[in-house]
Structures are given as structure tokens and as C-alpha cells.
A = this chain, B = another copy of it.
Amino acid sequence: MTIPTYDDVCAAHERIAPWIHRTPVLTSRTFDDLSGATLLFKCENFQKAGAFKVRGATNAVFSLTDDQARRGVATHSSGNHALSLSRAAQCRGIPCTVVMPHTAPQAKMDAVRGYGGQIVTCEPSLEARERTLESITQKSGAHFVHPYNDPRVIAGQGTCARELLEQAGPLDALVAPIGGGGMISGSSLTCANVSPATRIYAAEPEQADDAYRSFKAGHIIEDDAPDTIADGLRVSLRPLTWHFVSRHVTDVLLASEREIVDAMRLVWQRMKIVIEPSCAVTLATILKNRPIFENRRVGVILTGGNVDLSKLPWMSVG
């Protein structure tokens, strides 16, 4: 297992700079009042492909040698990693194959194809997904880029906290959502090196609380297909992300589905920006844990803004 270092984060930052946005940091009087904290929102919903995942995927793709790159890249994901890897491959001019369950929403498939990704569908099971992916990589020699259990991906995600610290100044705490743990790992790596006093909080849906349970138990507990509106957070920790979570995270905080949807709606209403449910979980946990964050300077990573606008969660949950 190769553990990425902060030098890898800096190298990643230079490598991906031409292909990504240095996203802005927004503030909000409303949310400062509600939380009692000074919140600094790093807007990765404005990132290329609509999510932070483009950082890690782009770093992985541009880390390949020309020989490796020629055979293309492949992954399994029906979410932002699929979009991001497709776009990164398009930027480098190489093919990208994405394995998706045939049950994935048409809108997601269209978005991947919009970035030049090629989709191979499979049965909606872990086993089918892995078998399909393996047959692709064996046939084409395409290089597999895991959504988060990959040192290049983690180093890429670490560039986000690096920018945030440069833009926002010293932070008492940083809050990001946790699914597989790529963003939390990258943020931990950066903060441990350039801002060790910054506490790292991971925000997770109650209904997909495997990171919370892992953190409390002291070892990885996997969850098989948990059901939450925060569809980017349904995956489990893996050894590489567990390495960072177990060493650097101060706590894992939970929010209910209702709290996630309420926070998401409130951000749209008051900040006038579009964020996705997986992203709203951070603010939901901040608002319900006022004593932790009160009077602190808190970095909040708004991880993405890819939402199906014709199917908003408050139409059903609210």
C-alpha cells in the first residue's frame, strides 16, 4: 500500500492546475448566524464536471506514462467519479470506459457520454461490476482508476483543502462529507502538513453510517448498499482511506435524511447556489452540533452540485 505524501499533493496541484478551477470561497451571514461559527464554504459545486472528484481523477490520468495512457482508463461508478474520469481522459485525449449498472439513471449515462466516456452496463451487483471491469481491463489494457482507494486520487483531492487554507486563512476545523473517504483523506493529508491545529470532522448520513461505526470500532466495517438520499456517500472505507481516517479525523458526525434535505434546501434558498444531497450533509451536521463549532473558523467543503433538477428531494421528503 503506497501512502501518498504532502509532496504528492503539491505535485498533483501543479499537474492538474491547467484542467481545473480554483473554486471560490463563499461566506454567508445567514449560516454564520445559524451556526454561531464563521463558515468558509469551498465551492467545489462550481468545479469542472460539477464536483471535487475531478481533482483526483485528473491527477490519476495525468500521472500515467504515455505508454500507459495510450490504452486508456476504466472505472466503475455511476456518480461524480465517472463524470470526472471521463472528462480527465477527454482532456488527455485517451479513451475512458465506465462500468455502470443497467439500472443507472439515463441522465447520469448521458452526462458521462457528454464527456466522451464509453459506458458498459452490467447487472446491478458488486460481483457483476467487478467481473465486467476486469474483463475490460484485461482485453484493452485500460488502467483502472479506483474512485478513492488510490494514492493519486487522494493526493488530487488534497489540493482542495490546500486551496481553501490559502484562500480562507487559518481554520479551527474543516468539515467534509465521508463516503469512501477520498476527500477526508486528502484533506487530512494536507492539514496534517500545513495546518496541524485544524480539526477534521467527517459528516455522514445516519442511514449510511459505516464510517461512523468503523471509527468507533477501530477497524473498517463495510456496509452493503446503504439507502440514503446522499447517493455519493453509499460506499465504504478501504485500507488507504482508513489509514487517514483512523489517524487524523477528530470525529464522525451524523445527520438524518430530513436534516440533509433541509440543509440542502436552505443553502439553495439563502446562498442561491445548487448543491447536491451528498454535499448538504456537512452543513446539516454543523447546524446540529453548535457547541463544537461555535466561535470557530470552520472550512466547509461543498463537494458537488450535480442534481437531477426534475426530481428534487424536498418534493418527496419535505
Contact = CB atoms under 8 A, between A and B. Distances in A.
A272 B314 contact: no
A45 interface: yes
B309 A269 contact: yes
Contacts of A177: none
> Could you say which interface size class chain A belongs to?
10 to 19
Interface string A287-311: 0000000000000000001000110
B50 A272 contact: yes
A45 B314 contact: no
A51 to B, nearest CB: 10
B305 A309 contact: no
Given A273-B273, A274-B273, A268 B309 contact: yes
Contact of A46 (B50, B272, B274, B314): B272
Given A45-B272, A272-B275, A273-B274, 16 more contacts: A24-B24, A46-B271, A46-B272, A50-B272, A265-B309, A268-B274, A268-B309, A269-B274, A269-B309, A272-B274, A272-B305, A274-B274, A309-B314, A310-B314, A310-B315, A312-B312
Interface of A: 24, 45-46, 50, 265, 268-269, 271-275, 305, 309-310, 312, 314-315, 318
